[in-house]
Chain A
Amino acid sequence: MSITFKGGIHPAENKHFSEKKPIEKLPAPEIAYVLLSQHIGAPAKPIVKKGDEVKFGQKIGESAGFISANIHSPVSGKVKSIEDIPHFLGGYSTAIIIENDGLDTPADELEKHSDWKSLSPDQIPKIAAEAGIVGMGGATFPTNVKLSPPKDKKVHTVILNGAECEPYLTADHRLMLEHSDEIVEGAEMIRFALGADRLIIAIEENKPDAIATMRKSVEGKQIEVAVLKTKYPQGAEKQLINALTGLEVPSGGLPFDVGCYVQNVSTAKALRDAVIDGKPLVERVVTVSGLAVDEPKNVLARIGTTLSELLESANGAKGEIGKIVMGGPMMGLDQWTLETPVTKGTSGVLFIPPKQAKVGEETNCILCASCIDVCPMKLMPTSLAQNTKYEKFDMAKKLGVLDCIECGSCVYVCPANINLLHYIRWAKVEIRKMSKK
């Protein structure tokens, strides 16, 4: 029997559209739109100006705070302008726009360390910082910060997250199939940097080929490959740790409070490429799928490639597009324009036909408690929503609204079509406002 957590849902996986498609290297865009805010934390500070020549992999934005990340040029060419463009969170944000000269002249700014075991553990986060590596599962937390936990928190277990529990997405799946050795090497670097003992690579059972490939890659190494039950949100940090170790990250706490560390497989690969090849994070695997694209696929896209170019790469739209989701259908963000560029956290882009785009009308809660049954944080979403509706934010807080991981399972199952998460987000905003006063 495969391992898992309590609660959760099992929506239609819809991975068959793209899981058999090998990663296809996408031509670099003629114009790259490189956002300065691609990560959680402060946006990077631009260190080039309009008209500057830049090389492939050259640092063009500098980390602007403790939680921030460097940005590198995904192409070689000339800075066309620095201006506001559509951002995936909605609205506009500053980007460096680069005209590609098509030469990919390398900047070679980063050192190559083919013998990484001779490095000292604290050099790994430094290289991660230099290469602009952030969590590529979607949270985009700067990896160097995560790799430097407080001294009093000892990490014993490193978990490599290959669950990929979101429907449709197959980017991590393909990466595990095609680059398993690199992923394992990156994972070992993380373990080395943290001085941890245990290293687990966790994969959902709906990817048997990836499980087999990873098992082969870890042969003879002190690394476990764990098979997880296919269930959403299996890849959520706290649920993943719970499934694998039985530990519960305390409310308001972080994985290192229970001695664990979780990192996405793509991030491990990016770290390995930075350390060994001296390659900054300038491209990533993106799943392009959904019923409104003609040819769903997985592409290796440069950061700064626009959604319209991704759509083209999938042979364009099939029928009308009703909705564009960046990320998976459960936690992804709706996009309002095709001009939004790919960033470090873009694991997939889904094009949804109009008839799937809209959801039904909200009706009265019938207290069926389905939301309570599925909540992976064991909260009572219907009560959180009720209290929020009547602006009883204190009560919502008491009932644990701040513990919500916003996985959306409650909304998925709600027979009355209530967007419980909408209320929960509202409560969180209000509670944070109150605590600032």
Chain B
Amino acid sequence: MDSKYFVASSPHIRSDVSTKKIMWNVVLSLIPGLIGATYFFGFRALYLTIIGVLSAVITEAIVEKCSGKKITIDDGSAVITGILLTFNLPPGVSWWMPIVGAAFGILFGKMIFGGLGNNIVNPALLGRAFLMASWPVQMTTKWLAPRGGSIPGISTNIDAITGATPLGVLKVFVGETLANPSATPEQLTQAKHILVQLYSHWTNLFFGNVGGVIGETSAALLIIGFLYLLIRGFISWRIPLAYIGTALLLGWIFGAPDGFFKMNVLFYIFSGGLMLGALFMATDMVTSPITPRGRWIFGIGCGILTVIIRRWGGYPEGVSYSILLMNLTVPLINRHTVPKKFGV
């Protein structure tokens, strides 16, 4: 049955949405955040990001070349990893940090599993975890004051707390002082004063004139990028809603260092990497559940872990590890959340 016509099984038409199109739109959605980072931290933020992207893309190309596979760097997924990895670094890190982090993330987070679609954890977060374990000083002290703001996001000129982000101040300074039985009344008063200051400056967190990692600074710009993806239909809304909603509720109940039900929820959700993580990293298609119910569970799990790490863990912030841990549960979640079939 040789035919001069092309013969295939149905369907005979396809939508114009491709993996490439989705990935490059995600890149586009991260541009507002990048512009914000460049505005607040200077061109340093931009060039670190470019270095991170180049490292991710080149690593992927080299691995594919060496293993004789088709080079897929034009699909945009390595570019996303490069951007997100760099977005998770303090703006003052050395220039080689994004290179090492992105290369590690791509190599051990993605390529050894067989490339895009086969990875278990988010490559950018794996790269970040590697950097955190290997160069903790770089990762926890290289903060920069943003344009028109201070690192902790408040105007108080307390030398003791400069050099820490809002969540760092909350955990290390306020939290430990309040929990210290031998703290002087002056210290306690000062800690409470700073707490009030932190809460009242949540708008800094929203707009971005506050210290933090490169990409998390402005919640508003991240939300703009996310909304773009949402309107185009390229991103899940269930995971961010479940994640942020859970963090908001549990943060309000357990998040404050001075008692239950005392956390300012706006401060809580706009501080640290929650927006960046919930909107752009927990939503990574490959490493999040495929079922609607699974996505709710995944988001709620991320939220619970984030609140636990922030309040009782060893770090001021817990978004990255929460998502990494939840990534590992995805196969299990998928298996137990198979949707009810039609007619059953």
Q: Which residues of A contact B (CB under 8 A)?
A: 9, 11, 90-91, 167, 238, 242, 248-253, 321-325, 329-337, 350, 352, 354, 356-360, 363-370, 372, 376-380, 382-383, 399-400, 403, 406, 408, 411-417, 419, 421-422, 425
Q: Quick one: which of B6, B13, B236, B341 has the most chain A CB within 10 A? A: B13
Pick from A11, A253, A368: contact of B22, CB below 8 A.
A368
Of the candidates A330, A334, A411, A414, the one whose C-beta lies within 8 Å of that of B7 is A334
A and B contact pairs by CB, cutoff 8 A, 12 listed: A11-B13, A322-B6, A330-B13, A334-B12, A336-B5, A350-B12, A357-B5, A364-B19, A368-B285, A372-B292, A372-B339, A411-B11
Most buried by A among B72, B114, B290, B338: B290
Q: Which residue of B lies closest to A7 (CB)?
A: B342
Please name all residues of chain A whose beta carbon is closer than 8 Å to the beta carbon of B12 when the two chains form the complex.
Answer: 323, 325, 329-330, 332, 334, 350, 352
- Residue contact A372 to B19, C-beta cutoff 8 Å: no
Chain A residues positioned under 8 Å from B114 (CB to CB): 364
With A249-B343, A376-B342 as given contacts, are A417 and B18 in contact (CB-CB < 8 Å)? yes
B14, B117, B340: the one contacting A366 at CB < 8 Å is B117
Q: Contacts A324-B5, A336-B7, A372-B290 hold; do A403 and B342 have CB atoms under 8 A apart?
A: yes
Q: Which of B14, B116, B118 has most chain A Cβ within 10 Å?
A: B14
Contact of B18 (CB < 8 Å), options: A11, A321, A415: A415
| B residues near A358, Cβ cutoff 8 Å | 6
- By the criterion CB–CB under 8 Å, are A367 and B9 in contact? no
How long is the Cα–Cα vector from A416 to B285 in the complex, in angstroms? 13
10 smallest beta-carbon distances between A and B, as pairs:
A408-B11, A364-B117, A336-B3, A369-B290, A357-B6, A334-B7, A251-B343, A377-B342, A329-B12, A329-B13
B344 CB to nearest chain A CB (Å): 5
| Chain A hits for B3, CB < 8 A | 336-337
A422–B8 alpha-carbon span in the complex (Å): 10
Residues of B within 8 A of A91 (CB): 1
- Using CB atoms and an 8 Å cutoff, list the residues of chain B in contact with chain A: 1, 3, 5-15, 17-19, 21-22, 72, 75, 114-118, 236, 285-286, 288, 290-292, 334, 338-344
CB distance from A218 to the nearest CB of B (A): 30
B10 lies within 8 A of A380 (CB): no
* With known contacts A330-B12, A354-B6, A412-B13, A366–B19 Cβ distance under 8 A: yes
| Cβ contact within 8 Å between B342 and A378 | yes
B329 to chain A, nearest CB (A): 15
Docked-complex contact B343 and A403, CB < 8 angstroms: yes
A367 to B3, CA, bound (A): 35
A residues in contact with B11, CB < 8 Å: 329-331, 408, 411-412, 421
Contact B7 A360 (CB under 8 A): no
State in angstroms the CA–CA spacing of A337 and B341 once bound together: 39
B5 touching A323, Cβ below 8 Å:
yes
Q: A367-B286, A412-B15 are in contact. Are A253 and B343 (CB under 8 A)?
A: yes
Q: Min CB distance, B298 to chain A, in Å? A: 12
Complex contact B343–A399 (CB within 8 A): no
Which of B9, B118, B290 interacts with A419 by CB under 8 Å?
A: B9
* A177, chain B: closest CB distance, angstroms: 26
